[in-house]
Structure 1
């Protein structure tokens, strides 16, 4: 491992809750994080946002949808390239490599299929910077769930923290990552995330998100509907498991008939309840502390619901833990890129169910 050196890496990742495109600079050797640079999320332009929404849940290998997905990927990649160029110019940095996680539009491990829009080869050409991309395919081919990959990054980030410890990443879906006292690690997608809240308020209120949980806090949780939602078959699956945001869409029809506020409150409670239920049922040992990151950490009502349902542990936001709150997905992608550069695995049997640790991603060199 003596030949592994620090690398300046820029991560780029689309938020599965459709907040925008995250960018994050980091200095790392793929094992430890030595310096965090600027990180922020650029909101999607309305036209691009609608293009992404239109292809969610669709398979790129379907003749019916292939052309539509290619068009969305082209626009998304060009948007990412422009964002990288602006970042490099405005921050005065020269990253050695880009980690391009793209944007997941369809993730179906049971069908051995995953697809993220975002063309790594094209991004390398447009930016002139070496790019690592297509991180998830190798794990799927190895029999894994293709997610979550966050544990390798959170392991570095929490190395000096007391354990047992959990990290709860609430994006479009929610991921639970657990670290035991003896170095054990377990991770899985627990269930719904911000997507069920965002989709409800978009459909019934014309808003992209429930800002600061203001609708949910003024609403009333419908406990009967919440009980129905908690009977979703995915939540009863044992880990390892992963899914995309579309898995819960049909079940959310049970909210129809509720007011905007009551629907937001019930959807938010569904996110918190499914996380708490999964932690109680599937973790080897209760954590002493849980750190919440992703967009969900910025929702005070969701944080309140989580603390109510996890009374025997300290529940902190990423900010309260002293982490950079913005663009966590991009930070992960930056870290993955350097691990791929040094042939270090991204996934493990305890995180995705792959038979052995898997090195994920492809490297694309800029041409010319």
Structure 2
């Protein structure tokens, strides 16, 4: 399907924070990164976001056509601005994720995108992993392995993504293959931006707490954090994954706090969950590189720097684009899917053996 080893791949990501769609181009053969290309972002309008959010938790049998059409249309608007693309990776929008029950549901039809765009589109990345006993998430770790090689890391490094949900990937860059059982460990750490964004929207009509400024003026409620730390998720072995609303009790617990104290408590919960996650890693990394919107929250970043026993930096410190790593990851995974290469392993999703995945929609 791909002409030659290298491909100019376009990846897209619409995450659990529901803010909009990221798109990014990389040149890759599905093993190495050769270059980074153009990027773009399209925010969801308030009306679009409201429709998609209203469908969270719904499955294929429910009426999700309206949400899917919005997701497809916004992606197409963004993707049509890129030229010379060989293949695209379309993640879709996660509406529900229950890998040990009903499975995983990312709405959006990759076949429609391929027909409009005129080139192959890889999509439905998670279902095959779930079908083979995996959690279906996180899926960026194999890309993180390639990034560790790209930045020339010589010692273990952690990539921490703070989107709606937090997830980390521990990488040993001395290994040659991401499917090596000792190369990676990856899992969701806990809630990240989603509870804070929901709170600021509900109370203040603001999409997020810019720079964590409101949180910086609050005092974290220790009793809430103590209950949060007792959540059974933290006692589970890695790898493991979460649904966006798995920690709904946390939002309820800060309901009676003032705005600043509630946000300070939610920010401290992010730090607590990442610290608990780091304790599950094979060894302490040389540094933690933070991507996603949470790296702009100075309250969270200050908390991580104080709580973790290693350097904590935004991924820009390594010359990377922290807003686009997940979109880039699905460009990388699209090429791997087209070549039948593994997208996940027992150490990243808990799947029984390294497995490929994704559907390839031809135009």
Question: TM-score scaled to structure 2, two decimals?
Answer: 0.94
Q: Does 1:294 align with 2:292?
A: yes
Show the counterpart of 1:59.
59
Alignment-derived partner of residue 272 in structure 1 = 271
Corresponding residue of 1:305: 303
3-state SS of paired residue (1:209): coil
Distance 1:294 1:47, change over 3 A: same
Q: Provide structure 1 residue ranges, at least 5 long, that are not aligned to the other structure.
A: none
Query: How many angstroms does 1:107 deviate by?
Result: 0.8
Number of aligned residue pairs: give it.
352
Is 2:344 the partner of 1:347? yes
Q: Residues of 1 paired with 2:6 and 2:345: CA distance?
A: 23
Matched, 1:144 2:139: no
Q: Deviations over 1:205-261 (max 9, x none)?
A: 211111111111111111111111222222221112111211112332000111111
Alpha-carbon distance in 2 for matches of 1:178, 1:326: 19
Aligned counterparts of 2:45 and 2:193: Cα–Cα separation in 1: 20
RMSD between aligned residues: 1.4
Please report how far the alpha carbon of residue 126 of structure 1 lies from its aligned counterpart in structure 2 after TM superposition.
Answer: 1.8
Q: Deviations over 1:252-291 (max 9, x none)?
A: 20001111111011001101111111211x1111112110
- CA distance, structure 2, for counterparts of residue 181 and residue 151 of structure 1: 12
1:73 — aligned with what? 68
Counterpart residue number, 2:331: 334
Alignment of 1:114-129 (within 5 A): 114-129=104-119
Q: 1:40 to 1:299 in 2, by over 3 A?
A: farther
Shift of the alpha carbon at 1:112? 4.9
Shift of 1:329: 1.7
SS at match of 2:74: helix
Q: Tell whether 2:115 aligns with 1:103.
A: no
Counterparts of 1:249-268 in structure 2, within 5 Å, are 249-268=248-267
What are the Cα deviations for residues 6-42 of structure 1, in whole angstroms up to 9, with x where unaligned?
1001111102212210000111000111110122321
Q: Counterpart of 1:167? A: 159
Residue aligning to 2:178: none
Partner residue of 2:28?
A: 28
> Equivalences for 1:186-335 in 2 at 5 Å?
186-280=185-279, 282-310=280-308, 312-335=309-332
Does the 8 A contact of 1:109 with 1:243 survive in 2? no
Shift of 1:51: 1.0
CA distance in 1, matches of 2:357, 2:173: 27
Give the direction of change, closer, same or farther, for the CA distance of 1:4–1:161 in structure 2 (3 Å limit): farther
Measure how far apart 1:155 and its partner are: 0.4
Q: What are structure 2's unaligned runs of at least 5 residues?
A: 176-181
Whether the aligned pair in 1 keeps the contact of 2:40 and 2:78 (CA below 8 Å) is: no
Give the whole-Å Cα distance in 2 for the aligned partners of 1:46 and 1:274: 30
